[in-house]
């Protein structure tokens, strides 16, 4: 039987946790080495939007995998963090206001949700400053309509004190302890489940846990602007697009005689210095897409950044680190 142009003799279906476990063989050298030995037992935790899926395998002598525990998991994915955030919004703005936002102002509602989806990925256990969320002016208007209270007055009456602050009419600055609590339920349930698995006698040899979550990032990657022996005319400019990972970033600049550098740790790579960029704090990081332009041909390397949303430009000086 052939469906959708696929020959069933050449296609095999696998459960998601099993596919994640096989995928580990494509990871970095350190991870592959940790999983390579015959008899190695390891756990893979694949945290998705709705569920956390867990598989546990043993590497056999011929390189194949043996399942030593049936796949397990639970409803501990990112959408449950989102649900806690929505409960917080309902508490602050009122259930009627959030319901009206969903049903009558859907564009604004989805903007609020997308904003949180992006911002929650930047939140870490080490985050100390207040976290800012865009909640739209419409949300505020609906809240004041249904509660009959000014938003600042309502937040004060709820007893948040300085933990929740209205900023600029359409943003909230929230204490990190409150944000952290939105993650606690899903994370604690996942940790408790993993602990219970590792207590089982047949899993006592499991020494490695691989967590699949978020985007795949390459550490120490060499992003080439101009290659060695390339003809560079006066006023030659190279522009690339980036999204910052923080409101103050430090970008290191290297040079090398290698024609095809891969990592800044490769032999012959020389550190020249760093570029320090500061971005406006009142704009979500996801909206701070930046054009970074290296301008060559002069006696000095000149770098210009431009935030596409605001048009704000900065001329950066290369700070020597030697």
Residue for token pair 């985007």: 215
Q: Please, are residues 119 and 131 in contact by the beta-carbon 8 Å criterion?
A: yes
Residue 221: inside a domain: no
pTM: 0.57
**pLDDT category, 106, cuts 50, 70, 90?**
confident
Tell me if 218 is assigned to some domain.
no
Residues 161 and 287 grouped into a single domain: no
> Is the same domain home to 130 and 267?
no
- Whether residue 82 sits in one domain with residue 60: no
* pLDDT for position 251: 86
Do 63 and 122 reside in the same domain of the chain? no
Lowest mean pLDDT among 7-16, 63-72, 124-133, 193-202: 7-16
Predicted local confidence at residue 147, as pLDDT: 93
Q: What confidence category does residue 2 fall into, taking pLDDT thresholds of 50, 70 and 90?
A: very low
Whether 249 is covered by a domain: the verdict is yes
Range of the domain at 259: 236-320
Chain segment 246-267, per-residue pLDDT in tens: 778 888 899 999 888 888 888 8
Residue 203 and residue 64 share a domain: yes
Residue 1: predicted pLDDT: 44
Q: Are residues 165 and 205 both part of a single domain?
A: no
* Neighbouring C-beta atoms of residue 68, cutoff 10 Å: 17
> Are 66 and 110 members of one domain?
no
Residues 259 and 286 in one domain: yes
Axis-axis angle for helices 106-120, 95-104 (nearest 10): 110
Inside any domain, residue 8: no
What CATH number does the domain containing 23 carry?
3.10.20
- pLDDT range class, residue 118, cuts 50, 70, 90: confident
Give the integer Cα–Cα distance in Å for 88 and 129. 19
pLDDT higher than 90, residue 120: no
- Residue-wise burial string across 79-93, b where 16 or more C-beta atoms lie within 10 A, e elsewhere: ebbbebbeebbeebb
Residue count of the chain, please give it: 322
pLDDT at 39: 85
How many angstroms separate the CA atoms of 234 and 232, rounded?
A: 7
**7: in domain:** no
- Domain shared by 147 and 268, yes or no: no
Question: Could you tell me if residue 250 is inside a domain?
Answer: yes
Encode burial over 165-188: b for 16+ CB neighbours within 10 A, e otherwise.
bbeeebbbbbbbeebeebbeebbe
pLDDT at 197: 94
- Rounded percentage of the chain residues whose pLDDT exceeds 70: 93
pLDDT digits (tens, 9 = 90+) for 228-237: 888 888 888 8
> In the prediction, which pLDDT does 110 show?
84
Question: For residue range 196-236, what is the model confidence (pLDDT) as tens digits?
Answer: 999 999 998 888 888 877 555 566 788 888 888 888 888 88
84 and 134 share one domain: yes
155 inside domain? yes
* R_g of the chain, CA atoms, integer Å: 25
Mean pLDDT (the chain) is: 84
Distant-in-sequence, close-in-space partners of 111: CB < 8 Å, separation ≥ 6: 134, 136
pLDDT in tens, 6-42: 677 777 777 776 777 777 777 666 677 777 788 888 8
Domain boundary among 152, 174, 196: 174
169 and 206 assigned to the same domain: no
Whether residue 5 lies inside any domain: the answer is no
Residues 67, 198: one domain?
Answer: yes
* Domain total of the chain: 3
pLDDT value of residue 200: 93
């Amino acid at each position: 039987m052939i469906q959708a142009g696929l020959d069933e003799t050449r296609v095999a279906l696998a459960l998601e946790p099993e596919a994640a476990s096989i995928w580990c063989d494509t990871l970095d050298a350190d991870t592959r080495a940790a999983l390579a030995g015959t008899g190695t037992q390891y756990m893979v935790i694949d945290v998705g939007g709705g569920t956390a899926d867990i598989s546990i395998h043993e590497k056999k002598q011929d390189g194949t995998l043996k399942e030593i525990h049936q796949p397990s998991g639970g409803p501990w994915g990112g959408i449950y963090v989102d649900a806690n955030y929505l409960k917080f919004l309902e508490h602050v703005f009122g259930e009627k206001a959030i319901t009206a936002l969903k049903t009558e102002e859907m564009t604004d509602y989805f903007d609020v949700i997308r904003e949180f989806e992006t911002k929650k990925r930047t939140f870490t256990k080490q985050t100390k400053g207040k976290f800012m969320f865009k909640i739209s002016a419409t949300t505020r208007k609906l809240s004041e309509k249904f509660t009959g209270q000014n938003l600042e007055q309502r937040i004060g009456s709820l007893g948040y004190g300085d933990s929740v602050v209205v900023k600029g009419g359409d943003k909230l600055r929230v204490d990190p302890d409150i944000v952290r609590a939105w993650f606690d339920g899903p994370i604690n349930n996942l940790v408790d489940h993993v602990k219970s698995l590792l207590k089982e006698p047949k899993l006592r040899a499991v020494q490695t846990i691989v967590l699949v979550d978020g985007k795949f990032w390459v550490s120490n990657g060499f992003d080439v602007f101009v290659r060695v022996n390339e003809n560079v005319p006066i006023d030659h400019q190279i522009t690339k697009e980036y999204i910052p990972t923080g409101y103050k970033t430090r970008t290191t600049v290297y040079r090398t005689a290698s024609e095809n550098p891969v990592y800044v740790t490769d032999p012959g790579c020389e550190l020249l210095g760093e570029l320090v960029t500061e971005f406006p704090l009142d704009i979500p990081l996801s909206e701070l897409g930046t054009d970074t332009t290296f301008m060559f041909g002069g006696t000095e390397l000149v770098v210009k950044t431009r935030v596409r949303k605001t048009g704000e430009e900065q001329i950066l000086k290369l700070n020597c680190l030697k």
